[in-house]
Structure 1
Amino acid sequence: MNSSEQLREAQEALLQIFSGIDAQVKQNLKEVLNAFRHNHVGAHHFAGVSGYGHDDLGRETLDRVFAEVVGAEAAAVRVQFVSGTHAIACALFGVLRPGDEMLAVVGAPYDTLEEVIGLRGQGQGSLLEFGICYQQLDLTLEGTINWQALSHAVKDNTRLVLIQRSCGYSWRPSLSIAEIEKIIHLVKQQNPNTICFVDNCYGEFIETQEPTHVGADLIAGSLIKNPGGTIVAAGGYVAGRADLVEAAACRLTAPGIGSYGGATFDQNRLLYQGLFLAPQMVGEAMKGTHLTGYVFDKLGYPVNPAPFAKRRDVIQAIKLGSAQKLIAFCRAIQQNSPIGSYLDPIPDEMPGYETKVVMAGGTFIEGSTSEFSADGPLREPYVVYCQGGTHWTHVAIALEAVIEAVGKANT
């Protein structure tokens, strides 16, 4: 069976799942439209202001719209956040104080947070350097949350619990909203004052609820991932309890300025339009992950999540087993990208990452993993992480080339 026939078989097998995703997209889009309607969004909100960014009606209204969509008291949606990691760091530094403990409950955090916490690097003002303690609950041998350990892990000085929704560069299942709700319930039973903070990257619009709908005090993420709808040029967000959002905004700007400053550089229309497009774009990316998982499972590779498993983010991981296959995979994705198809991805150092990383991302917006990309750290067992996709048909086209480049497992 050649690659095009394999893709055709996969599409037929996944028809019912694709139909279910479309139904969910419709439900999420209704919520976005309701928020736009409730806040009387009009063309006048697209205009921005310059300088300090004071009295930006479009920005202030977008914050309210976003907060309503994710079920939060408040939100700060800002182009000044340079990445999801930046938004997360602002949230952590905004909330935590010397002597506080931060507890990561889903194993090791994503690579780019290691230097923020202070697990790597020194002299740059990490949380540990500011006297904030860090504790971590490792996953079970099966790669799941250690619920028993979590039930008695929260102490009096545990100011914040970090819940990373997506798997990151690990071979664990990403979290469902139901699991996040269970974590929050266990934490609040032990210490009602502990802040439950969710790294929401890659998870927005995957389900019909967000962590803030089920009790999360604060969430953060990137606008060049799911909620930017593949067209937002830069930025991130924090959302949740109003006081915590403002504390994070004070770290982005300065105490006394907080969420009241920051020019939007005439980006308001894209921010609104990206949010409107986001449910559809996430739905297409979810279809792409199912397709990728199905094809590579048939080729004999371990895949996470499984082909028919319910999606919890827009990432499909494939354990390729060799550096050569990881590079070949990314090269085929790059060659089937709209931008920079002539480029050859090679492993290189990346700011914030512990090991060399090979990345394919021929995207219109640099680093926009919501468009379509693949990457992986150059370390055993050589797992590639496919992310995003503006339409599943693009993923299918790229997969034909990937199958030819990588071949079956154990070859």
Structure 2
Amino acid sequence: MNWITTLPQRLQDLIPQVDQQIQPQLAIIDQRIDDNQAKVLQAFQDQQLAETHLNGTTGYGNNDLGREVLDAMYAQIFKAEAALVRPQFVSGTHTLAVGLFGCLLPGQKLLYLTGKPYDTMQQVIGIAGDGRGSLKEYGVKFRYQPLTDAGTVDFDHLTATLQEFAPDVVAIQRSRGYDPRPSFTVQQIAQLIAFVRQILPNVIVFVDNCYGEFAETQEPTEVGADLMGGSLIKNAGAGLALTGGYLVGRQDLIERAAIHLTAPGIGSDGGATGSNLRAMIEGLFLAPQVTGNAIKGAIFAAALLTQLGFQVTPQWDEPRTDLIQTILLGSPEKMVQFARAIQKYSPVDSFVTPEPSMMDGYVDPIIMAAGTFVQGSTIELSADGPLRPPYALYLQGGLSYAHVRIALAHACAEIL
């Protein structure tokens, strides 16, 4: 039986139309998958990954050849001098925090170029929460450059800020996070970096690459970023990595970050990979395909939801630079209803009813649907958002395109 026949007639009629409508965009993503897969395969070949590299180490993690090969493959794929890929990173936020603490000394200055940082990063910086252990407590001065009403960089005002504030590190958040503004493409990031370097040639450029890996065929480290980080339970882990994060960039900045992750005198030489190494390596190999599946699912979601009268961003035919599909629902009640529908059509905990609640690192109650195999994995299909205006739900992930189609269609049937 065709699964579509179990849906209301309106959706039975609409889904084939949507499939036909988005086919040109899906073809673009398929080509991108091929290009990224070729790049990843080349790194596996060049670094001579062997079966013995799949076995992790214990204790101190000394002489972990598999860890060294994994670092080298990340550095090659992201065209960086060095990489730090570790299961000891507990989240994307932790990874980014280690990177920033490695870049900044007490009394130095950090400027976010892309508006107010993502909720959890606000506590790392010290502009939210009690400030304990934050960059602010360590004496780092912080500003962020507000974006225009259209969500773009205001270059005229940025010039004045760069000259007056004179930051030591500038940060770029590639993805929209919990903000309806557009995500920044690699081309836009390249233009922004070039603009900043005209004014401050020696400034360190740090990029939060969460949700962005393999969404395009170039990465920010290829266009001037000095240090970049992300989570392995997002794109780069492909749903196989059980934990961890990565930093890639300049050799000196990677080693400074490694010292903050471990300790002076240990740096990148320590840290056992245990039973995580095989999944981290295999996840990297599958990352282009899985990321492409998720983006194709987001395109399908945008087209279908638009046809059903919902506001979405980006539109189905807009360029994609990350996984996130924003659905503007207009009320907390509709957010909760939609999230519960996504949870119902998840492979794990489908019987669970999500409730809004406070979560560590966030300042507003969060509704989260995440029936995932890995806790909090946003490369798997999930929907979440803070219960605050404009009451936007952020749909992301999907290990297979088929699952996104089935789950979303049934979720739409639930809320119509």
Give the shorter-chain TM-score range: over 0.9
Residue 125 (structure 2) aligns with? 117
User: Alpha-carbon deviation of 1:157?
Assistant: 4.4
Residue 84 (structure 2) aligns with? 76
Q: Deviations over 1:44-83 (max 9, x none)?
A: 1011211101110000110000110011000000000000
Tell me the secondary structure at the aligned position of residue 161 of structure 1. Answer: strand
Distance in 2 between residues matched to 1:377 and 1:97, nearest whole Å: 33
Letter in 2 for 1:127: L
Counterpart contact for 1:224–1:368, Cα < 8 Å: yes
Tell me the secondary structure at the aligned position of residue 94 of structure 1. Answer: helix
Distance in 1 between residues matched to 2:387 and 2:122, nearest whole Å: 18
Residue 279 (structure 1) aligns with? 288
Q: Deviations over 1:227-263 (max 9, x none)?
A: 0011100000000001001111111111111111100
Give 1:394-409 correspondences, 5 Å limit.
Answer: 394-407=403-416
Letter in 2 for 1:180: I
Residue 195 (structure 1) aligns with? 204
Residue 23 (structure 2) aligns with? 15
Give 5+ residue unaligned stretches, structure 2. Answer: 1-8
Letter in 2 for 1:80: Q
**4+ aligned runs moved over 3 Å, structure 1:** none
Tell me the secondary structure at the aligned position of residue 139 of structure 1. Answer: coil
Tell me the secondary structure at the aligned position of residue 229 of structure 2. Answer: strand
Residue 42 (structure 1) aligns with? 50
Residue 219 (structure 1) aligns with? 228
Residue 339 (structure 2) aligns with? 330
2:214 pairs with one of 205, 211, 230: 205
Give 1:11-410 correspondences, 5 Å limit.
Answer: 11-155=19-163, 157-407=166-416
Counterpart contact for 2:255–2:268, Cα < 8 Å: yes
Letter in 1 for 2:386: P
Letter in 2 for 1:241: R
Letter in 2 for 1:30: A
Counterpart contact for 2:357–2:367, Cα < 8 Å: yes
* TM-score when normalising by structure 1: 0.97
Letter in 1 for 2:413: E
Q: Are residues 147 and 4 of structure 1, via their aligned partners in 2, closer, same or farther at CA, if it must alter by over 3 Å?
A: farther
User: Alpha-carbon deviation of 1:10?
Assistant: 1.2
* Greater displacement, 224-233 / 140-149: 140-149
Distance in 1 between residues matched to 2:43 and 2:159, nearest whole Å: 37
Distance in 1 between residues matched to 2:18 and 2:131, nearest whole Å: 51
Tell me the secondary structure at the aligned position of residue 103 of structure 1. Answer: strand
Letter in 1 for 2:84: A
Letter in 2 for 1:154: L
Q: Deviations over 1:160-200 (max 9, x none)?
A: 00100000011111000011001111111111211000000
User: Alpha-carbon deviation of 1:152?
Assistant: 3.5
Distance in 2 between residues matched to 1:371 and 1:174, nearest whole Å: 20
Letter in 2 for 1:4: Q
Counterpart contact for 2:56–2:278, Cα < 8 Å: no
* Greater displacement, 120-129 / 41-50: 120-129
* Greater displacement, 353-362 / 251-260: 251-260
Tell me the secondary structure at the aligned position of residue 84 of structure 2. Answer: strand
Distance in 2 between residues matched to 1:378 and 1:123, nearest whole Å: 24
Counterpart contact for 1:293–1:303, Cα < 8 Å: yes
Counterpart contact for 1:226–1:278, Cα < 8 Å: yes
Letter in 1 for 2:123: E
Counterpart contact for 1:100–1:157, Cα < 8 Å: no
Letter in 2 for 1:272: I
RMSD over aligned CA atoms reads 1.1
Tell me the secondary structure at the aligned position of residue 272 of structure 2. Answer: coil
Distance in 2 between residues matched to 1:4 and 1:275, nearest whole Å: 37
User: Alpha-carbon deviation of 1:8?
Assistant: 2.1
Distance in 2 between residues matched to 1:376 and 1:50, nearest whole Å: 38
Distance in 2 between residues matched to 1:32 and 1:229, nearest whole Å: 13
Distance in 2 between residues matched to 1:15 and 1:157, nearest whole Å: 47
Residue 6 (structure 2) aligns with? none
Tell me the secondary structure at the aligned position of residue 131 of structure 1. Answer: coil
Counterpart contact for 2:186–2:218, Cα < 8 Å: yes
Letter in 2 for 1:29: Q
Letter in 2 for 1:224: I
Letter in 2 for 1:114: Q
Letter in 2 for 1:406: I
Distance in 2 between residues matched to 1:201 and 1:141, nearest whole Å: 23
User: Alpha-carbon deviation of 1:19?
Assistant: 1.3
Distance in 2 between residues matched to 1:107 and 1:273, nearest whole Å: 35
User: Alpha-carbon deviation of 1:307?
Assistant: 1.3
Distance in 2 between residues matched to 1:113 and 1:58, nearest whole Å: 31
Counterpart contact for 1:152–1:190, Cα < 8 Å: no
* Greater displacement, 394-403 / 343-352: 394-403
**Identity percentage over the alignment?**
47
Matched residues, number: 407
User: Alpha-carbon deviation of 1:123?
Assistant: 4.6
Distance in 2 between residues matched to 1:312 and 1:339, nearest whole Å: 28
